[in-house]
Structure 1
Amino acid sequence: MRRASARLVNAVVLVALVVSGCTQAVRGFPVAGSVITRGEVDTGFIRGTDGGPIDQLAATAITDVEDFWEQAFPATFNQPWRPVSGGIYSVDTADPAAKPPPCTEKASDVEGNAFYCPSADAIAWDRAALLPVLQDRFGDTAVVIVLAHEMGHAVQRRMGITPEAERRDPQRYPTILTEAMADCFAGSFLKWVNDGKAEHLDIGADTLDSALGALVDFRDPVGTSPNDRSAHGNAFDRVSAFQDGYQQGAKFCAGMTVQNRAFTQQSFTTADDRDRGGNLPFDEMLTSITPDLNTYFQALVTTSGGTWAQPRATTTEQEPDCSGDQGPVAFCPADKAVEIEVEEDLPELHARIGDYATGVLLASRYGLAAMAALNKDLRGEDAAATALCLAGAYTNEVFTRQQGFGLSPGDLDEAVQVLLAYDYAARDAQGGSAIEPGFKRVEVFRGGVLEGSKPCGLT
């Protein structure tokens, strides 16, 4: 997060705490996801295949994705689907003698990548250093999603979104938009599979977290400008596009434009923020965000007709146990306090994911405090969802600020990562009724980010 002004930080120290592919892969968090396949698909149509398990999975994915577009393309565009005509290529990038696929000069050009070649209408992947790595880290679903994304680019070519069209009108078809559309198409395909409509793939809803994990892994490096010609989107934007496709279908994806699609990716605005990687030290984060949370939720409660009493923000060396197991940050209704564990789990999350992992957990517990001020039930899944949504609403507030304490590039990605890996921010005031899976947690949080407190059910 960005620092507030020095005077503000100095002031809050006194009052806040009672106790003192196709883009560069960036590591996310592994979430295993298995895929059941019904019968074997012949890998013979894949050029360069070794017929092994990875290409067997890829062949199954490609076959079902083509079947999906045989149905979805006419329904979306009122035109028949034209299958990929230039070939499907599996490249062993570990073999110096391997033949290069279209759009490359040598096999090593494919290393660590999967791509669609529009000039040849072909899809290629690295079966040595990409697909097995994704499978190992995220499970089979990640392989399926990557190939569905590349097929999404083939869909765009059939829509008329070609490299020539992009060069003629880059403002209409920026890379970040076309990549979001491909992510969205992949989401619509996975929903079709989860609805039991695929002939070969059987992917349960419990594997959705692995799909999002792969998208997090392929986000742009923090600080990449959204106007960069190679920009694919940060984790929040990519996950948002995938979830939109999953929830709203291919027709929604096809309608994406620069006018109706907002992106949260940002470049660094100060050298200081860039040098810190957009992260405040743990202690400084606590002393900066707690009074800001108080100010935001005071205004929200007052506007909603309630009376706000500032919770005492207290630190503890052990995980809070004042009200069930809420994790390293807890709202204690009886004491009207927010307890923050500062010795182990929370500092570790802060160091491993980033400062806004801490921010999301704190914001959700202040959300419970706001609910208590409005005499809302703090128990059950609905309460957990409201608290998480309010954390998203607070995120919307700090993201849209032009000055002072606000989000840095990478903060929204950190929110996605902590929500996928942990359910702390989605527990009720008794430490139970957590929202599962991570896909659903991200969806609830995203509602607050995009719409503020309106969808949170606070009033």
Structure 2
Amino acid sequence: MSNTANRIGIAVLVVALVASCAMLAVGFGRDRTVAGTAVAGSGSVTKPNQPDGGGVDPKFVHGTDDGPIDRLAATVITDVQDFWRDTFPQVFGSPWQDIDGGFYSVDTADPDAEAPPCTDKPSDVEGNAFYCPTADIVAWDRAALLPVLKERFGDVAIMVVFSHEIGHAVQRRSGLTLEKQQADPQKYPTILIESMADCYAGSFVRWVSDGHAPHLQISKEQLDSAMESLIVFRDPVGTSQTDEGAHGDAFDRVSAFQDGFTGGPKLCSQMTVANHKFTQTAFLRESDQATGGNMPFNDLVTQMAPNLDAYFGAVVGQLGKQWPKPTVKPSDNTPACGDAQGPVAFCPSTDEIDVDATDELRGLHTSIGDYATGTLLASRYGLATLSAAGKPTNGEQAQHQVLCLAGSYTGALLDTPGQFTLSPGDLDEAVQVLLEVDYAGRDDTGKAMATGFDRIDAFRTGVLQGVGSCQVT
């Protein structure tokens, strides 16, 4: 978000390097370093007490060391293909064809390891997992990718990786071939191809969540870990969505995944550049790129408040209600109405939005980016909107609505940029703060949705569908 002189952007990149997928291999993590902090629910996804000892024997994997990483990979691959054997005929009207080129585990730390098809040497796989359509194979780095993902995010990260890669195999089998993509790159840009694979991954994870997988299971809490692992592989801030190797920003990736989770594989198969909204944007000015577009904390609060007031005042006016313009009061103390809502709080008795400008909020502003602060502010204006509209300001519906309203404001900035608009990285920051803390989703009693997955889903509903989807009528 910005005025004509300042743009908000992400401050700290989780991803250190730009990804560049080889022309013949569609990769999940090529040329990216994996960083981040493990989140709650990052344990095992393998069902206990199985006859096979808690996983599938990786004997069908080329180059396997028969270790726990490849056993987990083999287990996920087995269930993903089971999912598509059941689902592919329903979606595409023809039988699923198992991946016949094989699966390749590569120890990239071993100079004598055998290079898999579509590569020249083992180091070509380093830090990556990919599907190669010309050979119909899936290959992965078992030394420097999968163990790191497992350590930071749990087994669920491995589930996301392989369901994404086999999603590319689904594309090939459904007729979306590499030749078709190359013949019409505007119709089939890389960001669309990658979003479809993220969507297919989400549909598989939903199948697991519903208890249909033979070997795998996933808890609600582990969905947050899935989201964390997915956004590690977002594009660096400022990447254009038209770039040849674009995979999407954090919002694009989690949005596609949640589309698959909630809408199923048929919806994924129907994604096009016309019906799917991408939010990734490039920097327009060198000065913004040099600073990451970040505004100082105090400037953000001061300059964002009038824009929030204008947007939400209009929303309340359309409902036929009076908008009691809230007063934004930065302070170094606990908000006057208590700390239940977190460091930004709407106080209905005084129509104040108190901003506790002490270490915690400033820490989020610095470590995530300034639209982390912006998201919290927008959500409190959302709570003020519910109050002005005479709607409940506590309970599950209110918790959903404040996030949806914050999303609708964000989406309006994205759709109709004016004096204030979104900058590259803003939506990444929103996704991160929604995953890390529940402040933006709290009602006036301090209660909120338990998972980041649900908080992001409510927020993106507002972003993509507008204020009408928030049901404040």
For normalisation by structure 1, the TM-score amounts to 0.94
Change in CA separation of 1:271 and 1:3 when aligned onto 2, cut-off 3 Å: farther
The residue correspondences of 1:5-20 to structure 2 (distance < 5 A) are none
Query: Is the contact made by 2:34 and 2:149 (CA closer than 8 Å) also made in structure 1?
Result: no
The residue correspondences of 1:314-329 to structure 2 (distance < 5 A) are 314-320=329-335, 322-329=337-344
Corresponding residue number in structure 2 for 1:430: 445
1:103-145: CA deviation from partner (whole Å, max 9, x where unpaired): 1111111111000011110001101110111111111101111
1:55 equivalenced with 2:70 (yes/no): yes
Cα deviation, residue 324, structure 1: 4.9
1:303 equivalenced with 2:318 (yes/no): yes
Q: Determine the C-alpha separation between the residues in 2 that align with 1:235 and 1:26.
A: 14
Corresponding residue number in structure 2 for 1:206: 221
Corresponding residue number in structure 1 for 2:208: 193
Cα deviation, residue 323, structure 1: 4.2
SS at match of 2:420: coil
Corresponding residue number in structure 2 for 1:9: none
Corresponding residue number in structure 2 for 1:458: 472
SS at match of 1:201: coil
Change in CA separation of 1:112 and 1:119 when aligned onto 2, cut-off 3 Å: same
Cα deviation, residue 22, structure 1: 3.2
1:363-400: CA deviation from partner (whole Å, max 9, x where unpaired): 00011111111111111121121111110011011112
Cα deviation, residue 322, structure 1: 0.9
Q: Determine the C-alpha separation between the residues in 2 that align with 1:383 and 1:413.
A: 24
Q: Which runs of 5+ in 2 are unaligned?
A: 7-27
Corresponding residue number in structure 1 for 2:163: 148
Cα deviation, residue 2, structure 1: 2.3
Corresponding residue number in structure 2 for 1:440: 454
1:389-414: CA deviation from partner (whole Å, max 9, x where unpaired): 11001101111233311110110011
Q: Determine the C-alpha separation between the residues in 2 that align with 1:421 and 1:291.
A: 27
1:422-456: CA deviation from partner (whole Å, max 9, x where unpaired): 10001101212x11211000000001001111111
How many residues align structurally?
A: 444
**Mean Cα deviation higher: 221-230 or 162-171:** 162-171
Query: Is the contact made by 1:26 and 1:216 (CA closer than 8 Å) also made in structure 2?
Result: no
Corresponding residue number in structure 2 for 1:12: none
Identity value in percent: 55
Q: Determine the C-alpha separation between the residues in 1 that align with 2:363 and 2:220.
A: 30
1:449 alignment partner, one of 463, 467, 471: 463
The residue correspondences of 1:27-42 to structure 2 (distance < 5 A) are 27-32=35-40, 33-34=42-43, 35-37=45-47, 38=50, 39-42=54-57
Q: Determine the C-alpha separation between the residues in 2 that align with 1:248 and 1:286.
A: 37
Aligned amino acid, residue 469 of structure 2: P
Change in CA separation of 1:62 and 1:321 when aligned onto 2, cut-off 3 Å: farther
Q: Which runs of 5+ in 1 are unaligned?
A: 7-20
For normalisation by structure 2, the TM-score amounts to 0.91
1:2 equivalenced with 2:2 (yes/no): yes
Q: Which runs of 4+ in 1 moved over 2 A?
A: 1-6, 22-30, 36-40, 318-321
1:118 equivalenced with 2:118 (yes/no): no
Corresponding residue number in structure 1 for 2:277: 262
Corresponding residue number in structure 2 for 1:11: none
Cα deviation, residue 5, structure 1: 5.3
Query: Is the contact made by 2:333 and 2:356 (CA closer than 8 Å) also made in structure 1?
Result: yes
Aligned amino acid, residue 141 of structure 2: D
SS at match of 1:202: coil
Corresponding residue number in structure 2 for 1:354: 369
2:107 alignment partner, one of 92, 108, 119: 92
**Mean Cα deviation higher: 26-35 or 444-453:** 26-35
Cα deviation, residue 306, structure 1: 0.7
**Mean Cα deviation higher: 33-42 or 113-122:** 33-42
Say what the alpha-carbon RMSD is for the aligned residues: 1.4
SS at match of 1:124: strand
Cα deviation, residue 321, structure 1: 5.3
1:218 equivalenced with 2:233 (yes/no): yes
Aligned amino acid, residue 42 of structure 1: D
2:382 alignment partner, one of 341, 356, 367: 367
**Mean Cα deviation higher: 155-164 or 325-334:** 155-164
Cα deviation, residue 155, structure 1: 0.7
Change in CA separation of 1:154 and 1:367 when aligned onto 2, cut-off 3 Å: same
Aligned amino acid, residue 238 of structure 1: R
1:46 equivalenced with 2:61 (yes/no): yes
Change in CA separation of 1:277 and 1:418 when aligned onto 2, cut-off 3 Å: same
Cα deviation, residue 262, structure 1: 1.5
